[in-house]
Chain A
Amino acid sequence: MRAILSSKWTKVAVFVFCLVPFLVLVGRTLRGQLGANPVEFLQHATGDWTLRFLIFTLSITPLRKLLRLPELIRFRRMLGLFAFFYVCLHFITYIGPDQSFSLTGMWQDIAKRRFITVGFLGFLLLIPLAVTSTAGWIRRLGGKRWQALHRAIYVAAVCGVIHYYWLVKSDVREPLFYGAIVAILLLWRLGDWLIKRGKRAPAQVAAAGIS
């Protein structure tokens, strides 16, 4: 198992898997199979995949600790960057067909509509994380500061869930489903941090972080 996870080819395979939703959407678009409201179809699909990839990214740390598979960390950056890729597509479907590429219209919408505000905030938070995802940036920022910055993904994921919850009319099953998964992943971190803190001397607590 660990040999497979360490293989170069596994990384290539994961990359291809991450592209599948995008390729399916391209295929459906080219064949005109996006239903009666193609723009909405693309908006919802890219939004769904953003949330899913945020969840995949957030699952890496709990999984590698629970399963004792440290090699899983090799895929975290790629999954996070795919979340960013899908949120960019999601944003394009909004600024384009919805706002006709009008920045003034977009700002008015962001200022006035809380579900747009919170969604846009989540998008903004992911930009510095994507930019600083390289080895060079980790070195420049230093591990501790880099890690602190990248905790912004917790907020971004919560923003994504709220954005979805405020969008739907009355059937909140799906947003609550995503919300529950994000809550479990974040609560696991809180629990992990509390356990670690309990094991350490008080002097070390201030330096301890949540990974």
Chain B
Amino acid sequence: MLIRPKPDLTYADITPRSVYFNRREVLRAMGIAGVGLAGGKILSSLAFPGQTALATSKLSGLVKSPFSTTEKPNSIEDVTHYNNYYEFGTDKSDPAKKSQNFRTSPWSVSVEGEVAKPRKFSMDEILKLAPLEERIYRHRCVERWSIVVPWIGFSLSTLAKLVEPTSKAQYVAFQTFFDPTQMPEAKYGGIDFPYVEGLRLDEAMHPLTMLCVGMYGETLPNQDGAPVRIVVPWKYGYKSIKSIVKIRFQQKEPPTTWNRYSSEEYGFYSNVNPAVDHPRWSQATERRLGEIFRRNTLLFNGYGDQVASLYNGMDLKKYH
């Protein structure tokens, strides 16, 4: 049985967890402000939460997914303090610190291109499109580290079917939000912005491909791609594009950020493959965060049973 999330609250109504946990301080600060005393310190501590405070809020009515791995998820501390999000800095500890004031509300995702019914989805609409599922996926970065994350969301195909892609739609292009004033670190990233990614239509419509709105039972933290991202578990992490504002169905293969930076090193497909090395390092092994020694990397990150048929007859080295 599927339980739908209650429709009477909107995304903007959700109280961020940090405010919820500090509610007494909030009330006190309000009282102090009301009688005209100096509440500046408390107010500023609320406006600029510390590094570990996550402005996330609980998601309810989650459904378990048969796609989940039985492997143990990494700690939320690891997953929120070891991020590649170059708009907020290139060091893995940067996004946690520098994305805290990123504004993710209001937010909408424009779905356009070769579709019969192009439209904009608000975050509230996205959250109500389908029952929210918790899917525990392996996530493998091209830099040879991996994590296990309990993502929350549903198959991207659910959204795609609503806009009715036409027969001309062969590929799907995604675009990350970009604002240099909110993302001043981006200019040092060495890559072009806005960040763009793409999938072949059949990859995008594959049930494993996820439109993700949360993790660990809550909405996404800013550094992990709030408020909505894509998760493609059989491809290197950079294909799982964060904070998306545009989804475009099109006939031609779209350009993708890392491929544009170095096509030899980062292919359009970027399927996890221990037999196809990055020119500068082997992809045969990976380090799972929390482990000392490396473990063997699995073809398609262990999702071969579900996705290998997408690539029948393709030379995976050529189309890396």
Contact = CB atoms under 8 A, between A and B. Distances in A.
Interface of A: 35-40, 97-98, 100, 109, 112-115, 166-167, 169-173
B81 A36 contact: yes
A36 B82 contact: yes
Which has the most chain A C-beta neighbours within 10 Å: B86, B90, B93, B191? B90
B189 A170 contact: yes
Contacts of A98: 294
Contacts of B289: 36-37
A115 B188 CA distance: 23
A173 B91 CA distance: 12
B287 A171 contact: no
Contact of A115 (B82, B143, B261, B280): B280
Nearest to A112: B282
Contacts of B81: 35-36
B293 interface: yes
A115 B143 CA distance: 14
Contacts of B191: 170
Contacts of B93: 35
Contacts of A97: 287, 292-294
A37 B82 contact: yes
B202 interface: no
Nearest to A114: B280
B78 A172 contact: no
20 contacts: A35-B92, A36-B79, A36-B92, A36-B290, A37-B92, A37-B145, A37-B289, A38-B292, A39-B287, A97-B287, A98-B294, A100-B293, A112-B282, A113-B280, A166-B280, A167-B280, A169-B143, A170-B86, A171-B90, A172-B190
A44 to B, nearest CB: 10
A97 B150 CA distance: 27
Contact of B78 (A36, A166, A167, A173): A36
A109 B190 CA distance: 27
Contacts of B74: 36
Given A36-B289, A98-B294, A166-B280, 6 more contacts: A35-B82, A36-B74, A97-B293, A115-B280, A115-B281, A172-B190
Closest 4 CB pairs of A and B: A170-B190, A36-B82, A171-B90, A36-B78
B8 interface: no
Which has the most chain B C-beta neighbours within 10 Å: A35, A169, A172? A169
A40 B145 contact: yes
Given A37-B289, A40-B145, A97-B292, A170 B280 contact: no
Contacts of A112: 282
Nearest to A99: B294
A96 to B, nearest CB: 8
Contacts of A38: 292
Nearest to A166: B280
A39 B295 CA distance: 14
Interface in B76-92: 77-79, 81-82, 86, 90, 92
Which has the most chain B C-beta neighbours within 10 Å: A40, A167, A173? A40
Nearest to A172: B190
Contacts of B188: 171, 173
A64 to B, nearest CB: 35
Nearest to B78: A36
B261 A170 contact: yes
Interface in B278-313: 280-282, 287, 289-290, 292-294
B189 A171 contact: yes
A170 B145 contact: no
Contacts of B294: 97-98, 100
A120 to B, nearest CB: 14
Interface string B237-263: 000000000000000000000000100
Nearest to B77: A36
A127 B188 CA distance: 36
A140 to B, nearest CB: 41
Interface in B8-67: none
Given A97-B294, A100-B294, A170 B90 contact: yes
